[in-house]
Structures are given as C-alpha cells and as structure tokens.
Amino acid sequence: MAQHPNTKAIRIQTPRTDQMEHSTPLFLTSSFCFDNAEEMRAAFAEENDANIYSRFSNPNVQEFIDKICALEGAEDGFATASGMSAIFGCFMAFLNSGDHLLSCGSVFGSTHTIITKYLHRWDIQYDYADIHNPDSWEALIKPNTRLIYIETPTNPGLDIVDMEWLGKLAKKHDIILIVDNCFATPILQKPIEFGADLVLHSATKWLDGQGRVLGGIVVGKKALIRELYVFCRNTGPSLSPFNAWILSKSLETLDVRMQRHCDNAEQLLKALEGHPKINWIRYPFHPSHPMYEIAKKQMTRGGGLITFDLKGGLESGRKFLDALRMLSLTSNLGDSRSIASHPASTTHSKLTREEQESVSITPGLIRISVGLEQVDDIIEDILQALEKC
C-alpha cells in the first residue's frame, strides 16, 4: 500500500528487537559485534549492510536518514553532527583544487565564511550570483564550475530562488545543484522535484523544532551521497545516536508543527500590516514579496519566518529587542518558542553596509521565528515592543 511521505515519517522505524518495543530504543554504542570472522570480513568489504562503527553508521542515525529521504523524495542520505558540517562536507566531497563554486550571495553567515575565507586554501574559486537578477547567473558559469549552491528562502532576507529555472540551468551545464532547504523543510517544498541533485538541512532548526540538539543531513542522488559518505566516514563529522533519536522522533510531528508555525506567521503578518513604526514586511506568501509568484509555485505555504524593517534603523532594532517581554533573544530559529533577532547588529554585523544590502539586510531589519505559542500572545509582545522602539 502506497503511503504518504508524512505517514512514512511517522511509521519508518528500526526493526524491533526481541524486547518488542513500540518506540525505537537508543543504540548508544561506539561499535558493533560480529558472530564470526566471515561476517566481519563481509562488513568491511561492504558486501552487506552490517553496522561496524558509529562514525560510519548507526541504527538511530539510519532511521533519521530514512525518514528524511521519504519526506524529500530522495534516493539516499547521510547525516552529520551539524548543518555546517553537512555544508562543509558537500564542498569538500565535490570540489577539487581548481574547481569553481557558484552560490547565491544570500547565504548563512558561517557558509559565507567558509566560501570567502577558507576555500581559497584549496585553490577553489567562487562567485556570488545576484538573487535579484537571474539573467546574470549563466554568465558566471565557467568551464570548471562544479557546484551551484543556494538557499531558498534565504537567511535572513527571505529571498526566493526559482528552483525550476535553476535546475534546468544546472542540468544544461552538467553542474551539481545543492539546495539548502532548512527554512522551508520538506513539508513546504521539495527541491528534488524542481531539479536539485542534493538537499541539505540544518536539522537543528525546524526539524528538531524545540531547540534541543544539533544535527545536519544531506539527501539526494545515491551516487553523490556515496561520495559524501566516503569523505565523512573518514573525516568524522558524525551525528550522535542520541541526537539522531531526538530528531527522528521530532519528524513524527513535523507536519503538524509546520502548519501551526505558518498559521501563526500569517496571523502576525495581518497584525503588523500598516504599522506606523514599520517600513515594510517580507513574507514569501505575501503579495508584496517581489518573488511571490515563484514562492507560490514551489512552496505549499509561506513558512514560519517573517522579517520587517523598522523605521529608525540600527538603534530602533536594538531598542525593539530590549523591549520584548516574551520572545527569546537567541541565535537559533525554528523553535517552538518565538525568537527575535536583529541581523545588522548581531549575525551579519561584520558585513559592510554594501554587503548587507546585497543580501537584503537593512539596518532596521528584524527577523521573527514565529513559534507555537498562542498567537495573540506573540502579537501582543511584538506590538508593545514596537511602541517602545
């Protein structure tokens, strides 16, 4: 019987032990045993799927991978200790000395640091494409371009990249397309359906959903995942079995959580529209978003993040954060608890004014990760803080 991906995310489970448990147990072990020398030889020769060492594989980690593969419609996957180890693993597995990376300019701060500060050590070139000018992307492709890497929606500006168009461009030039699907999750969009070869997540965010553990995952074409697996198996950015167990259980509620995040975000959007302290609001499913039609094409809903620009710029942003009574001030997002951040004075403060503007960050930009609290309480806290900024 064919099952919906959301059903698979709930029902996929490690085979029961002789204890007949209903919930998957924790496999907190560094290594695994064999009954005889031949079984051990076959495992190391990769003639069977036996676990050897938790740096390579673990039942809890595999269950998490299987669930994400079902949700994303992917052939295979590999889980890592964090979202950044997933990103760095992809760069190192698929880029060689002399290769070229094409990326959208709007990327997470640590991803930007890897691209601009470290890739040159391996003689890897890069170019940032203008997310607002798709026609300029193809001219940046070189004979040595090996990867195209994007986020959509982007962090923190919530810009949208047309994945269908970009997937065709990548295929035309035989380039691997990697999409960071962290902000939308596979509940709201499935990049593989639009041409992505690999999809990655910081599982720390919405996939966990409660700000408890770190994790990362990459899923996609089996041959590419094999290359990533070989690199990560030997370099060790392994996801812990405990974190994998937490994340696997979290996926059982991912759909219902994301629907509530979206519901609350839409109600907050209505409450903020036309507020005299705000210049503009950005949300993928709001008609004012410059890429609204593209968002509607590739996403089922707008997600749990809202950004808005405060009148008064940098100082207003700081005053707004200080005036909040309930929302958390933290560097995370995708939590059951609502979170506010001011990128210009925190996560992106090291960028120049021009660099910030190029990735849709204004001095007064506020990013709200809309949580699962009663939406009236979220709205009340934000409105009272706006009055004081």
Contact 354, 305 (CB under 8 A): no
Peptide bond connecting 276 to the previous residue in cis, omega within 30 degrees of 0: no
Give ∠ CA 36-40-42 in degrees, rounded to 5.
120
Q: 335-376: per-residue pLDDT in tens?
A: 999 999 998 887 777 777 887 777 778 999 999 999 999 999
What is the separation of C-alpha 349 from the centre of its chain, rounded to a whole number of angstroms?
22
pLDDT at 226: 98
Peptide bond connecting 153 to the previous residue in cis, omega within 30 degrees of 0: yes
DSSP, res 119:
G
In the chain, what are the domains? 5-251 (3.40.640.10), 254-388 (3.90.1150.10)
Contact 275, 385 (CB under 8 A): no
pLDDT at 355: 77
**127 forms bridges with which residues in the sheet?**
102
pLDDT at 351: 73
Tokens of 43: 């495992």
Task: For the chain, give percent helix, strand, coil, nearest 5.
Answer: 40, 15, 40
pLDDT at 292: 98
Of 31, 28, 29, 50, whose CA–CA distance to 39 is shortest?
50
- Whole-number Å distance between alpha carbons of 268 and 266: 5
Q: 221-244: per-residue pLDDT in tens?
A: 999 999 999 999 999 999 999 999
Does pLDDT of 20 surpass 90? Answer: yes
Q: 26-70: per-residue pLDDT in tens?
A: 999 999 999 999 999 999 999 999 999 999 999 999 999 999 999
**Confidence grade of residue 105 (pLDDT, cut at 50, 70, 90):** confident
Average pLDDT, the chain: 96
Contact 193, 177 (CB under 8 A): no
Q: 149-208: per-residue pLDDT in tens?
A: 999 999 888 999 999 999 999 999 999 999 999 999 999 999 999 999 999 999 999 999
pLDDT at 345: 82
- Whole-number Å distance between alpha carbons of 198 and 179: 6
Of 185, 74, 171, whose CA–CA distance to 66 is shortest?
74
